[in-house]
Structure 1
């Protein structure tokens, strides 16, 4: 990922926070048949390995799992993003030498990919992922709420994914290369948007 120094994010806690907030990511593998990509939710186990380990699953019918990967896999986590109009810059009123851009946060996680079919490991993986996304609900659903024979049948239709992360690349492009006046204008403009992603970016823009 191309990352100018002003936008580079190296703090492990910040990187993990972006990954957790992304919810849906994209698994990319290079194969002799070409690039293969699948949108997937992952759970990040921060206690396993230096950079954490990712767990997820995909449909057994998805050929990505049984097409040998060349080198490491890439998982792309995209955070909030927003279009930035030059109209918000103080510099536009001063000299007009400004152009549009895009603000966003993203993390690229690299690591060797393992696909597994063991029923117990699959059950653990889907249980953890389900718990993660159900825990804030008033009446959370649990995998154990469904009949065990039904769950075992569902597990036969998926394959687990495990990626011990070897390298993280983080980027927070939040107008850090602009003046304080320009940043204030961008934050104010985005804060007035009806788009939730725009407002999220507005709150991330540094003011000093």
Structure 2
């Protein structure tokens, strides 16, 4: 990934936090049919390896778990907050007009070698961990054990697990750090005026990382 120094985010805890808050990752693999990409919800085990280990499952009918080269790295892309930035928010537009639109975003790319996991107990643990993480915020969280055991066993037969020990990881927070302070203030103010949740989150990132 193209990485200007002022956009780099190398702190593992910050990268992991984005993965946990945006767990739907794009799994990209290369096999005999070429590149394959599928969005999958991932559970992150931060302690299983130095950079963390990703676990997910996909439909048994999905060819990606069969058609990949285990000798090659796979890539998982986690997209965080992203917003369009209009030049109308820049003070520079009023000063000299030499401005163009851009896009702000936070993103993490994780690399590693993928293993296929076809053990029912592993799959049950993965599904339960993923579900618990998402249900925790609910007033009455649903648990995998709420489903009938025979139904659950049948569902598990239809999926295959994948595990990726992260061997390298990159973070990029492109949130107007390359702009003058007056332009950053204008961007944050403009985003807050938009009022939607993504814009408000981006406004906080611009304020917190602008310097």
1:37-116, aligned counterparts within 5 Å?
Answer: 37-69=37-69, 71-116=72-117
Shift of 1:195: 2.6
Task: Extract structure 1 runs of 4+ deviating beyond 6 A.
Answer: none
Deviations 1:61-101 (A, max 9, x none): 00000113251110000001011111111111111111100
Shift of 1:207: 4.5
TM-score between the two structures when normalised by the length of structure 1:
0.97
Aligned residue pairs, count: 208
For the residues of structure 2 that align with 1:16 and 1:26, how far apart are their CA atoms?
A: 16
SS in 2 for 1:170: strand
What's the CA shift for 1:30?
Answer: 1.1
**Quick one: distance in 2 between partners of 1:144 and 1:179?**
54
Distance in 2 between residues matched to 1:88 and 1:203, nearest whole Å: 16
3-state SS in 1 of match to 2:104? strand
1:27-85 deviation line (CA, Å, top 9, x unaligned): 11011211001101001000110100001100000000011325111000000101111
In the TM superposition, what is the alpha-carbon distance from 1:194 to its structure 2 partner?
Answer: 3.5
Q: Structure 2 regions of 5+ residues with no counterpart?
A: none
Deviation at 1:167, TM superposition (A): 0.4
Structure 1: 5+ residue stretches without partners: none
1:134-159 Cα offsets, whole Å, 9 max, x none, are 11111111111111111110000000
What SS does structure 1 have at the residue aligned with 2:21?
A: helix
Moved more, 13-22 or 163-172: 13-22
Give the secondary-structure state (helix, strand or coil) at the position aligned to 1:56: strand
RMSD: 1.0
TM-score, length basis structure 2: 0.96
1:33 is the counterpart of 2:33: yes
Distance 1:68 1:97 in 2: 47
What displacement does 1:115 show? 1.2
